[in-house]
Amino acid sequence: MQTSKPRCSTLLDASFNQACPVQEQCGGCPLLPLDRSSELKTKLDSVSTSLSEVGVSAEVLAMPETQRFGYRNRLRMKVVDGRVEFFNKAKHDGCLVVSPILWAAIVHVLAVSASRPSLLADVAHIEVRVGDDNRLGLVTSIPVDEESLQQELGDDWVVGSRGSDTSPALSYQPASGVEIAVPITSFVQVNSAVNRQLVQVVLDVAELSRAQTFLDLYCGAGNFSIPLAERGLTGTAVENVGAAVAQLGRTIPARNGAIRCIEGDARTLLSELEPADLVIADPPRAGLMESHRQVANLVGDTLFLVGCKTSSFARDVAALSSDGLELESVRVFDMFPGTVHVEALAVFRNRPDCDSSTPH
């Protein structure tokens, strides 16, 4: 990759003072002016309030803190006449929540698009990514001459386009000693360190419950499935993004039969799936919608519900509790420091003798 000095070098230095000089103009991180403990309390209260509004009383636990700045591993940008620009112009001179490596990559993309706008002609937007191994990826909204673009960007880059059935991948580590390849056109959590916290909770509960089988709904490229398979579990993974399913199918656990990969919409396939000891549901922002009862029926022992939209998450927690599952815990992971958003995890147990009419 050609090296370019980030234009935000002075701005990045501000991270040591826990301040962002463009926060007010940007508006993307409204909680940055708060001290860290106040920010976390605000987020915990938000989840607790959303649960209370749907009749769920539960203690909401916070997971250990991680870094507040430099965590973001991907950023979406617009393209105008072949030239890359920020959706939010306040980010022009830097963004403290973007990792320094990703920011240097963004600066490089800006320079390449300015010098050769024909490479991104007719493209509406792009996304720049960095893997946990520091390799870089660029995703375009429509197909382009990927070979020419990759050559211009450099050997450390891979290039792909939305809607393609095949896509190059970047490497991520969802758990200690576990690497997964995620196609650059597929979903990946924006904060790798916090994602590892999330996955570790699932692994710890799986070990304590002595689970042997799992069902991973909305599995992506195997964020949960591969670590579970590496721990000796076998299971089924369901995902509707073809590139992600294909990549997961090429992993060693899948090739050895530990993971059965199914491409399709989890909501339409639930009636065809077999129950498992552990069920992981990590749906899109809209949540489980009307499929909560079918999901509950597949839970042999434990259900993990993951949500990034508080209102949808709370609604699903209430519905699953009414379906006879016992809400054991709710944890909040600060996947998006500085913003009002969180990643929440609810752990349910299937207790046949649980009275579903009892408030949880």
Mean pLDDT of the 27-55 span: 94
* pLDDT for 353: 61
CA separation (Å) from 277 to 17, 33, 193, 221, 233?
Answer: 47, 44, 27, 21, 10
Looking at every residue in the chain, the average pLDDT score rounds to 91
- Percent of the chain at pLDDT > 70 equals 92
Whether the pLDDT of residue 359 is over 60: the answer is no
The residue among 162 and 157 whose pLDDT is bigger is 157
Three-class HEC string of 58-123: CCEEECCCCCCCCCECEEEEEEECCEEECCCHHHHHCCCCECHHHHHHHHHHHHHHHHCHHHHCCC
Model confidence over 67-79: pLDDT tens digits?
999 999 999 999 9
Task: Dihedral sign for Cα 160, 165, 170, 174, please.
Answer: positive
Q: How far apart are CA 222 and CA 199, in angstroms?
A: 11
Whether the pLDDT of residue 145 is over 70: the answer is yes
pLDDT category of residue 18 using cuts at 50, 70 and 90:
low
110: left (phi over 0), alpha (psi -120 to 50) or beta: alpha
Q: Is residue 131 within 8 Å of 137, Cβ to Cβ?
A: yes
Domains defined for the chain, CATH in brackets = 9-17+72-166 (2.40.50.1070), 170-350 (3.40.50.150)
Model confidence over 87-100: pLDDT tens digits?
999 898 889 999 99
Q: Is residue 323 within 8 Å of 357, Cβ to Cβ?
A: no
| DSSP state letter for 15 | G
pLDDT category of residue 194 using cuts at 50, 70 and 90:
very high
